[in-house]
Structures are given as structure tokens and as C-alpha cells.
Amino acid sequence: MLLSESAAWAGAYLALEWAIRVVMLVVVPFRRSPDAARSWLTLVFFLPIPALAIYLVIGRPTYPRWRRDRFAKLPKLLAVATRQITHSHFCRRPSLPGNLEDPALLIETLGKFPTLAGNDVEICSDYEQLIDDIVSDINRAKRSVHLLFYIFADDATGRRVMEALGQAARRGVACRVLIDAVGSRRWSRQVVKTLTSHGVHVRLALPVGLLRRRSARADLRNHRKIAVIDSRIGYVGSQNIVDADLDPDVVNEELMVRVTGPVALELQAVFAADWFMETDQVLDAPVLFPHRAPGDGVVAQVLASGPDYPDAGVGLLVVALIHGARERVVITTPYFVPDEALLQALKTAVLRGVNVSLVVPDETDHLIVKMAQRSYYSELLHFGVRVHSYKGCFLHAKHITIDGEIALIGSSNVDIRSFVLNAEVSLIVYDRSTVQRLRLEQDRYFETSTVLTREAWENRSILTKTCENLARLAAPLL
């Protein structure tokens, strides 16, 4: 009797597993890339029940319906901002070679923001100087200060910024801060308490909680780093509000851009959209989107991407830019987990004679990601891509240059998480002098890096290669 019951339970369990496999074989490939589908189905085949549980939690890279419905209201609610930006006298097409005109038009189609002239762009690679500059600009603010950061820590750096915000609020400046609930979870309670006591309006982006009525998914994060002061000065890039040496074993090296001019209004609009999504409050006062007379300066535009922007994938832009390149591509990223489209773009670029370089840190702070990205190096080296392994600090900077014409700087890594799951923001600059200044930073990276060779890289142990290839299977899920 006992044996027959055990056999019945075993049969039911086996039937359940195969039912999950069959159903997931139909469900998983729907609106999903082949790489992602392959990874999910591999997991389902070997561990069907755990795979189903994971899929129900993080299987779809979309926000809940209430958030999508709220986001759909934004164009109408932010009418003043949209009208000011799209009808600006600064709207001007960049002067580009024919091979790069289509990628430039793609950006506007994806993100809805036009190219705006009249901007001054400053590259900021000194970690402490960047914090000094942000604090200084906050101290001079007269009307508004808006900050949106993935990490806002209650450490020496964070307290400096919080004190500047408090002083600004006491002067009557409208100060608003958004911090990602998961990225800043170690400090969020104290940061919110301190900023609120200073009179600063602060909210957590995408809060998570089992009992929370509108809890966000833990893996869909707001990864942006934005500061906008008086609708005139904007900051965007890779650096968070946290000490560079918070972890003594991982000292961060970053790169941000300080931009003054009309493109700051596009950063303002991204912040206003995120603020509305978290608070249901509309920031559309004309004072936040002022009109300015046309002037000189470089052409730039902003691309916001993420699950809120289903058609605005920064990955599409990166692939298009590489396909348009004719001379030189340099990609700097701490995390490199490409999809098939990006790998093919890199391969065809090299075959066209384009000099393609990838700069990645020698050490990363995520072991599985590190192993997954290293599994791609053999393929890249075989293509002819130069892989530079940066020594010393953890190079957390994220930027790309195309020929001598276009620079892309922002919060997005070159991985599937940034391309699909995270809310990201990128500044695209169409200016040879800006690209040249950024290339000076890239040249410095080259000098501090080891250039991988195909022969030496293939001498890794069988165990190392096996672990890397297993991690690669999970790449679309990272």
C-alpha cells in the first residue's frame, strides 16, 4: 500500500514537471529574444518547478498595469515640458556624416526627445571634484534642485549632499530627491529621515515589500543618475552619491557629464516623469521648463530607456551606432553581457575595418556577471576586438564613442539588464571636441590596462572555462 502511494506521488510529480515543461515551451518564447528564451528553457528543462517559481516572480520585464496606465498619462500631463522642448528654438539637427544620420534619427524616435543645440558639456572624471561641483551648484541654486540616484548613501559623501540640500531648502529652493529603494536599501531609512527633517521632498523609487499594495519587482530598478539645478545645469553619468571607497576592496572610478543649456530640460523631464510615477504629483510648472533665447553650443539629446519606455531600448541605439561606425568604436563598461545582435554588430564592424576596443575592469563586484562576461572574450578576440582589462580601481564608467562624431555617456551598462530591465538615462553628444576630450579619458584607460591576447586567454584552465560557460547560460537572466 505504502509503495503504491509513493509510486502515485512520484507519477504525479513527474507529470507536473512535464506539464510545466510543455506549457513553458509555448509561453517562454513569446515576445522574448532567442537568447533569453534559450536560457529560460534550459532552466525549465532541468529544474521545472523552481524555474516556474522564478518565472512567476521575474519572468516578464514589464511593470504592473497600474504603472503602465499611469505612464500613459504623462504626455498629456507634462504638456508644458513637451511643448517647450519640442518647439524650442534650439532644436537643430546635428551635422553628421551620412552613415551616422540614421542612428541620430533613431534616438529621437525611441526616446521622443529632439536634438537641442546651445549646450556646454564638461567631462567630469574626478570623483571628489564631481561631488564638490554638485554641492557648489546646489549652494547657488535659486529655484529648484532635483536629484535622482540609484544609490544615495548615508556616508560622508551623502551627508555633504544632504547638508547642501538642507541649506537650499531653508533658502526657499524647491528640493526633490528620488532614490532607488533597492539600490539604496542600506541607507534609505536614514537618508529619508535626514532629508525630510531638512525640508527636502524625498521618495523611494520602485519600493518593494510583500505587504505593500503596489510593490515593485525587486529586479526592475531605477538605475538612473541625474541632477538638475535651476533647470539650467544637469549632471548625468555613472556616479552615485556614495563614497568611492565605501568598499575598500572595490574603489570606484567614474565618469559624469555636467551640461548647461537647453538639454538640461530633457533631463528635467525625465525626472518629472519618474517623480510622477512615484508620487502622482505633476511637475509641469513653466518655471521648471523656462524658455531661452538661442545661442551657441554643442548639439545633444537625452534618451530615457527602461520598462516604462517599451520602445526605447538603449541596446537598439548601441547596435545602430556600431553598425553606422566607419573608423573607431570604444566601449567602456563595468559589465559586458551582450545579446546576439550586439555581438554581430561588433563582428561586422571589425570586418568593415573599424577599430573596435572594449574597456572593462579587471575585477568586478559580481562574481557570476564577471564569469559570464569573460565567456565572451574569446569570441571578441577571434573577431578582432581589442579587449582592455583595466587595472587598479573598479572602472564603473559607462560611455561609448563612435568615430570622432558621437559620444554616449550615461547610466547604462552594456548588458541585458540595462538594455531590458533597468530604467536608464543616456546623454548623446554630437560634437568632435567633446568626443576628443572623452578619448583622452579612454587613452588613459588604455595606458592602465592589459590588452588581452587570444593565445594567452585560451590558456585558461578547463575548470575556469566551464564555469564561465555555465554562467553564460544564465546571461539573459542576469
Known catalytic residues are: 223, 225, 230, 396, 398, 403
Contact 251, 395 (CB under 8 A): no
First and final C-alpha spacing in the chain: 46
How far apart CA 241 and CA 223 sit, in angstroms, is: 13
For the chain, how many helices (H) and strands (E)? 19, 19
Sequence letter at residue 346: L
Mark residue 199 as left, alpha or beta (left: phi above 0; alpha: psi -120 to 50; beta: remaining): left
Q: Name the one residue in this structure whose C-alpha cell is 523552481.
A: 50
Phi and psi at residue 57, in whole multiples of 5°?
-85, -45
Going by C-beta distance under 8 Å and a sequence separation of 6 or more, which residues neighbour residue 474? 39, 43, 368, 372
Q: Under DSSP, is residue 105 helix (H, G, I), strand (E, B) or coil?
A: helix
As given in the structure block, the three cell numbers for residue 184 are 539604496
> Which cell numbers hold the place of 182?
533597492
Grid coordinates representing 170 are 531653508
**Phi, psi angles (nearest 5°) of residue 174:** -75, 110
Which 3 state secondary structure label does DSSP give 149?
strand
Q: How far apart are CA 111 and CA 312, in angstroms?
A: 6
Q: Residue 86: CB partners within 8 Å, gap ≥ 6? A: 114
Closest CA to 31 of 424, 341, 420: 420
Strand duo 233-237 + 256-260: pairing: antiparallel
> CA gyration radius for the chain?
23
CB-CB contact of 448 with 390 (8 Å): yes
